[in-house]
Structure 1
Amino acid sequence: MSIHAISSSQVLINHRLVPATILYSSVTGKIVHIIPDIVVTSKDDEVLKLYDVADACNVTPNVILPGLVDSHVHLNDPGRSEWEGFETGTKSAISGGVTTVVDMPLNSTPPTSTIQNLNLKIDASKDKLWCDVAFWGALVPENLDDLLPLVHAGVRGFKGFLCHSGIDEYKRIDREYIVAAMNILKQSNVKMLFHAELTDDDNIMDGEPADPTKYETFLKSRPDELEANGIAMVIDCLREVEGANPLFGAHIVHLASALPLDLIRSAKRDNLPLTVETCFHYLALHAEQIPDASPQYKCCPPIRSLSNRLALWDALRENVITSVVSDHSPCVPELKNIDSGDYMNAWGGISSVGLNLPLMWTTGASLDKPVTLEEIATWCCENTAKQVGLQDVKGFIAVGYDADLVVFDPTLRYSYNDIDSFFKNKLTPYDKTEFAGMVRRTILRGKTVYTAEDGIVVAPGGTLLLNV
């Protein structure tokens, strides 16, 4: 009696919302059958009898989506678990229908740059995972010899910075390192990720010191050209790589600026293995609305203009940008300089893992052509799963895939409050924002792990998704 059934008049299958009933196992955690109709109300249905279904429910008019895959999350554990941690970060994820996160190699201490450091992270995660977790490794100047061992140990790829990372122990890399690393990794099936603001100057402001509480001061300190120059260099490095595995490639993280979009279009026309993500905050917010002395809005690269925001949406719909992620990057409140309002010396990062669906649905509704749930699933489930090599088990509702399912009410409107979140440090730019759309239920590998009525309803049931 381990087979369960859930149905709706709107289930996202093959990029369409259709009536369906999903049968899944709470033992194997897999989807075992999909009926192209709502049948859970019929006690005489032959398919339900065949599978000896233990229980069934119809969640119409709510929508059933695949569990989201957030491929850019900083859990900061071990070493900076006071900023977040496996427990609070993964609880936040499942409360918003995110069933898989990929943890960044910083801001944990030590960073995930060696096998030894990866094992420290694995140990720190034990009994603390409420969703499934995979790992990125580090690209730092001293670890070229560690890259292939980390691949064999299961990391999904590697991330490097072309500027100061914000963490002194995580050094920037240069062109020589990138080309060497690409040649080491090109026969593997992993991605190389780049924070592509290119500068070797940690403080690029010229002239007299400007007012650090002005958002404009911070925005001018990280101009669009930094991203354009960094992306151009990554593309040039890709052109030097020959004989690569078709699954190998470069990935630009958290694109904030529309300036490099033509560079990216050109690279794609040349069939270079390049993918690009942007973040919820770049699609939801714009510089003109950000108040001074409010560093909860600070992230790197910075949130830019309204016209820039709309250009990012257009690029998503062109498939120039391929995915949308949180870049969940929390810290303790004092590092955000909330009391002083000092943007320039505040930590640059925004918390949002688990807010994925309401942010996309709410913001996308304001576009001239409103966003659809099919589009959101492409950007936040399917393409993120592909990016991390999980496209055969995550990101889709299909037989044989993990039964990671989200029951979403797209009609509900409510006020989001930071205090109600699972974040360890309850500070976001979205406090008191009116959201549309709420996750009513999250199912992880066949087990209900969260409901809007009861909160988190199980012990930690997440697992590590090592690429071995």
Structure 2
Amino acid sequence: MAAASPYDLVVSGGYIVTETAVERKDLGIVNGTVVDIAAGIDPAGAEVLDATGLTVMPGVIDAHVHFNEPGLGSWEGFRTGSAALAAGGGTCFLDMPLNGIPPTVTAEALRLKRDCAAGSAYTDYGFWGGLMPGHLQELPLLAEAGVIGFKAFMSSPGDDHKDAFRRSDDDTLREGMRIIAETGKVLALHAEHEPAVSRLTREALRRGETGAEAYTASRPVGAEVEAVETALRLAAESGCRLHFVHISSAAAAGRIREARRAGLDVTLETCPHYLCLTDKDLAAMGAVAKCAPPLRGAGEQAMLWSILREGWFDLLASDHSPCPPELKAGPDLFTAWGGISGVQSTLELMLDEGHLKRGIPLPQLARLLSGAPAERFGLAPAKGSIAPGCDADLALVDLGAGYTLQTSDLYQRHPNSPYVGRTFGCRVEKTLLRGRVVYSRGEGLLHHPAGLECSPVYPGAVNIRM
């Protein structure tokens, strides 16, 4: 009688992407954890998932999403947002403290958010806390309660609800950074200089200009750079660890790179929409392509691809910021909701535009999409890579399966996406969360939501749960 397999599951015949290589090997998985990577693993009775001809990537860890719970019933939600992430090869999301009501700026608000997510997420997840005026005393409590880190806005978040998240002025940032530095956690920043943006917006509206060109001009690269420089200066004073979200310009990325070379603990991300869309797309598509900072010109986009290839960016994230469709209606781009819904398309966009069209190596993309966010935000070594001891969080992709995205393909609550009608050169075939298939093309979502909250572990950070 043949010996029983030591594995529960064998993923066989795929091209396994680690952070250093792409090799045709098998994965041996036990209790949802990768225990073996080798050629010719004998399944000996274990369940077999045939990945022949497919590329096996680490599941995407999307460190920047807005799933809008609690309090915004007609908006996205954890169930639909995580479903879209899973359908796009994602296995973990980190949810921002806005736009839910209340925003996650107190320990009680975090509890409410946890209650919403429990049993509703198809993928694993974590939560950002918020740095906001009037709530500085809550920062240590949120750190103790297990948030991934903190998020602050240096420009207006754009929500006029009386209880909505608000921007932080320099004094709030200075004191908040001092407190966050003591926790050891990271402060993520939306960096646009509010005085400049407000002035340029007023001038455009005074002229009666509300279209794409006027909106883009109201949020210039200079406003991003000025905010970045202010934040870097404050972080140097406090020793706070920083992460800049959705950097849209090479100039801002360059300032951050210089600060890191000078010894500051700082990282930065960009988003697929800055790499795959331009201001011309905003003009053609309207509000579905509105975001802040805005889409830039083709020349700026080319520079972003260049510096990404050179390693300036630490990670990629979707900044999935959906809303009900009526908030994207009308020609006035100043009043339309600012946010791009792209969580389902991140991996396919980056594989298509980055690897298939530009030759960026798969290990580099795996690092940007999975390994780096796991390390920066305390999820490694359990998450972020394909290696013995890691969770078997996997995206199986057919790099030769071209298709055109239709609204019927989208799993998010409102099928608004600037990528509908776009042809991709690849397609996610299956997504595995801890060794279990949660999405399969043709079958859709499988099983009930079984995502778990991840507990961040930072060296020297406070990680005590309340």
* Shared fold (TM-score, shorter chain, > 0.5): yes
Aligned position for 1:245: none
Which residue, 130, 135, 144 being the options, matches 1:143?
135
Aligned position for 2:16: 11
Aligned position for 1:42: none
Q: Aligned partners of 1:238, 1:38: CA distance in 2, in Å?
A: 51
Q: How does 1:40-439 map to 2 (within 5 A)?
A: 45=42, 48-49=43-44, 53-168=45-160, 169-200=164-195, 202=198, 204-205=200-201, 206=203, 208-212=206-210, 214-242=211-239, 249-292=241-284, 294-337=286-329, 340-364=330-354, 369-439=358-428
Cα pair 1:418 1:430 within 8 Å, conserved = no
Aligned position for 1:30: 33
Cα pair 1:153 1:466 within 8 Å, conserved = no
Equivalent residue of 2:323, what SS?
A: coil
TM-score (norm 2): 0.92
- 1:459 is displaced (CA, Å) by 0.9
1:14-47 C-alpha deviation (Å, 9 max, x unpaired): 421012111112xx32112222x133xxxxx4xx
Q: Aligned partners of 1:38, 1:415: CA distance in 2, in Å?
A: 35
- 1:371 is displaced (CA, Å) by 2.3
Shift in alpha-carbon separation, 1:293–1:306, aligned structure 2, 3 A? closer
Q: Aligned partners of 1:5, 1:181: CA distance in 2, in Å?
A: 48
Shift in alpha-carbon separation, 1:86–1:289, aligned structure 2, 3 A? closer
1:178-227 C-alpha deviation (Å, 9 max, x unpaired): 22122212233321000000114646332642432x31111011111110
Equivalent residue of 2:344, what SS?
A: coil
Cα pair 1:91 1:422 within 8 Å, conserved = yes
- 1:364 is displaced (CA, Å) by 2.1
Equivalent residue of 1:352, what SS?
A: coil
Cα pair 1:292 1:341 within 8 Å, conserved = no
> Which residue identity is paired with 2:145?
A
Structure 1: unaligned runs, 5 residues or longer = 40-44, 243-247
Q: Aligned partners of 1:81, 1:389: CA distance in 2, in Å?
A: 31
Cα pair 1:8 1:64 within 8 Å, conserved = no
Identity within the alignment, %? 33
Structure 2: unaligned runs, 5 residues or longer = 457-462
- 1:292 is displaced (CA, Å) by 4.5
1:246-293 C-alpha deviation (Å, 9 max, x unpaired): xx6101100112222331221121021110000010010111343356
- 1:377 is displaced (CA, Å) by 0.6
Cα pair 2:379 2:455 within 8 Å, conserved = no
Q: Aligned partners of 2:199, 2:94: CA distance in 1, in Å?
A: 30
Equivalent residue of 2:168, what SS?
A: coil
Shift in alpha-carbon separation, 1:13–1:366, aligned structure 2, 3 A? closer
Equivalent residue of 1:77, what SS?
A: coil
> Which residue identity is paired with 1:170?
F
Q: Aligned partners of 2:427, 2:73: CA distance in 1, in Å?
A: 28
Q: Aligned partners of 1:453, 1:382: CA distance in 2, in Å?
A: 29
Q: Aligned partners of 1:187, 1:308: CA distance in 2, in Å?
A: 37
Aligned position for 2:459: none
Equivalent residue of 2:251, what SS?
A: coil
Name the count of aligned residue pairs: 446
Relative to its length, the structure with more helix (as a share) is 2
Q: Aligned partners of 1:365, 1:376: CA distance in 2, in Å?
A: 8
Q: Aligned partners of 1:181, 1:291: CA distance in 2, in Å?
A: 38
More displaced, 305-314 or 154-163? 305-314
> Which residue identity is paired with 1:138?
G
Cα pair 1:89 1:423 within 8 Å, conserved = yes
Say whether residues 1:448 and 2:453 are aligned partners.
Answer: no
Equivalent residue of 1:358, what SS?
A: helix
More displaced, 265-274 or 343-352? 265-274
1:134-179 C-alpha deviation (Å, 9 max, x unpaired): 0000010111111111011010000000111112421111222222
Cα pair 1:282 1:304 within 8 Å, conserved = yes
Shift in alpha-carbon separation, 1:89–1:348, aligned structure 2, 3 A? same
Equivalent residue of 1:123, what SS?
A: helix
Equivalent residue of 2:399, what SS?
A: strand
- 1:354 is displaced (CA, Å) by 1.9
Equivalent residue of 1:170, what SS?
A: coil
Q: Aligned partners of 2:91, 2:405: CA distance in 1, in Å?
A: 21
> Which residue identity is paired with 2:270?
T
Cα pair 1:84 1:423 within 8 Å, conserved = yes
Equivalent residue of 1:450, what SS?
A: strand
Equivalent residue of 2:426, what SS?
A: strand
1:52-106 C-alpha deviation (Å, 9 max, x unpaired): x522233121111111100000000111131100100010011111000000100
- 1:466 is displaced (CA, Å) by 3.4
Q: Aligned partners of 1:97, 1:144: CA distance in 2, in Å?
A: 37
CA RMSD, Structure 1 to Structure 2 (Å): 1.7
- 1:306 is displaced (CA, Å) by 0.6
Q: Aligned partners of 2:284, 2:113: CA distance in 1, in Å?
A: 37
Shift in alpha-carbon separation, 1:258–1:366, aligned structure 2, 3 A? farther
